[in-house]
Structure 1
């Protein structure tokens, strides 16, 4: 990313914590019948783990990783989420959110690659201003919405396996995506 090094590392720590938490939830939530854990929740945990850990890696490595790697890492899941959302009404909004996040990560990777080390002006580092603005608005609104849902979680329920922890991870990643887009 184009922000100060300290901000990039703090963002990486925040995203790593959220991604790791999602991995722990994914590993400790059986998908067996009667377990009470829906397959859509496992899909969401996996997608959020990928996004959190991918955000951490992108914040630290930035443009040193070729855009094709980022495109494969995020573009393929984005396509899968878009197709799944088109064919299954259950979880459509959540899948669309994951697709938007993955596409935003791909967009940021290509923007970073096109503006790094080529003597471009700061205005060129913004990518497509309209698209960046729309993504900033989307993730700002998502963060406010997720934060309001977290505030409605009963006190003391931020433990693994409860409704509060996934909401806190989503809030963290929404803030992280907003910060990454802002520092682009």
Structure 2
């Protein structure tokens, strides 16, 4: 990932932690396939976000990994999440191929024409996704009492799933901005 090393490391740490959390809790009964898909995406994004100069898999290998995630059948997932997962994976394929074709610091942006339309479209998509998913992170209240009971497992709520998706979208936005 281009840009300041601190941003790269923070993005890699956030995506890696989210991916590991999702994979560790994939056994949970509320959304195992969804968490496995989000976990694989998070760990792949962490590899992609590593600062340039740090040993990492070649961009071509990452492109194949993310293409596989885009084609991964996710039966039982809601259509919206499946579409978001596919968009996320294809965006990572796009970034990996851009990295592979880059010969200079910003050669992936084209022939001096600025940022490609695809990058702008993806930036808009993830910005809108973050704005829409933010309210899902605030606990809903029913007559003044918080949702769930104090003894509920933290993984049992859909809020954790929304937080994972929001974290990965924030990582995507950071990576797109530094492209």
- TM-score, length-scaled by structure 2: 0.81
Pick the structure with more helix per residue: 1
Aligned to 2:70: 78
Q: Distance in 2 between matches of 1:171 and 1:161?
A: 17
Q: Distance in 2 between matches of 1:62 and 1:161?
A: 38
Residue 11 of structure 1 contacts residue 56 of structure 1 at CA under 8 Å; is this kept in 2?
A: yes
Q: Distance in 2 between matches of 1:153 and 1:18?
A: 23
RMSD: 2.5
For structure 2, list consecutive stretches of 5 or more residues without a partner in the other structure: none
Aligned to 1:55: 45
Aligned to 1:162: 157
- TM-score, length-scaled by structure 1: 0.79
Change (3 A) 1:156 1:12: farther
For structure 1, list consecutive stretches of 5 or more residues without a partner in the other structure: 31-36
* 1:129-161 Cα deviation digits (max 9, x unpaired): 100000000011111111121124455869222
Which region of structure 1 is more displaced relative to structure 2, 61-70 or 141-150? 61-70
TM superposition shift of 1:94: 0.9
- 2:125 corresponds, among 135, 138, 142, to 138
Aligned to 1:151: 138
Residue 159 of structure 1 contacts residue 165 of structure 1 at CA under 8 Å; is this kept in 2?
A: yes
